[in-house]
Homo-oligomer: A and B are copies of this chain.
């Protein structure tokens, strides 16, 4: 058995010989120690030794513009987060089985950003653990097991989360009780309202699973459909799905690992843009600006019986240091107006990419919301997805020390997703680099 599904923008070990000697030796050593499951980004992997704001630096002191990383969402090594972590780790770092007021202060502050009905939070270390817990809770509550996902979804890496992640490729089996629905990608890419079409697919999937004796438990989707190709428009298209899910007695789980914490510039959470009130939401990546912390939030009635019969303890989940980091992240989002920055600078970023795309036939369907912009790379001949060309753009930007990646079922979608502190000047630099790269390709 071999896998034909390549990771988008993954380094291919078969090209090891093309690397300069020092990097080649590092990459070989890495493969020997970590094994073959670990992939590097880029044809020419990068090695960083320090970072600050929206910049990363390699060992030679060369500066890279980060238009990709959404974990250090308030900027790499943000001084306020650094100070909060450094202070806390020197003071106390313990778990949730001792009473600890800052944990509750943070919980309250976080929950205040959700609809009132969502008033419980449980902390984990990773988005994968949070997805796993959310689905575990949903299955317990509904007494069902069937879960519906989108057909290039990524929800994580635990056994249960990987079974919900078709984007991992054919080598990772979907769960027997997981149904993946097709998406009308072409319509989504240009922002057609496909809400009723999607709801109809969900209803069909529910009928099919019930026909197979599987009881429906939940629908889960990233509120920006990130790994499917990043589809933010039109606002509201997820609403009909939520209704179809509720009509069938299932739960709607919003995966906010990517859209959450102000990424969209329009709302703190991606589901808000769709007028959806999820039953459960999953938070992760940017929550602690790189410190491991993630969570589920839920309507309390969903946790009532689950909590009564199954205690939950996650040794590092909600530890004092991660809570300090997460609290500092909320400070920075507020103090630096990052929701608004994401909206305004994101708009500039999108129009910049649109202007470049307007001159060409191979970059189409530019779309985005906040500092999350995507565009499809296609063959000008027939309009078909051109993953190779997308890869060339990503890799030539990397040679110009500008970091982005690609995503989507066909691997041809450029993914531009900088820290939320990206400025108009950074957009201008990015636009110049992208223009140069694609002009040279023409």
Contacts and interface: CB of A to CB of B under 8 A. Distances in A.
Nearest to A97: B41
Contacts of A392: none
A234 interface: no
Contacts of A89: 77, 81-82, 85-86, 290-291
Interface stretch (A210-218, A300-308, A361-369): A300-308
B33 A107 contact: yes
Interface string A201-239: 000000000000000000000000000000000000000
A53 interface: no
B98 A41 contact: yes
Given A1-B305, A308-B2, A309-B2, A125 B120 contact: no
B107 A309 contact: no
A97 B159 contact: no
Interface in A155-192: 157-160, 162, 168-172
Contacts of A322: 292
A37 B292 contact: no
Contacts of A308: 2-3, 36, 171
A126 interface: yes
Contact of A160 (B72, B92, B160): B160
A34 B105 CA distance: 11
Quickly give the copy total for this chain. 2
B33 A111 contact: yes
Contacts of A315: 71, 126-127, 284-285
Contacts of A121: 33-34
A141 interface: no
A93 B168 contact: no
Interface stretch (A129-137, A350-358, A375-383): A129-137
A434 interface: no
A158 B313 CA distance: 10
Interface in A49-90: 49-51, 56, 69, 71-72, 76-77, 81-82, 85-86, 89-90
A136 B162 contact: yes
B91 A50 contact: yes
A15 B98 CA distance: 17
Interface string A142-161: 00000000000000011110
B97 A90 contact: no
15 contacts: A23-B99, A32-B119, A33-B111, A35-B298, A85-B89, A86-B90, A89-B291, A125-B292, A158-B158, A159-B159, A162-B310, A169-B310, A172-B309, A172-B310, A285-B315
Closest 4 pairs between A and B when the two form their complex, measured CB to CB: A171-B309, A36-B307, A37-B307, A125-B125
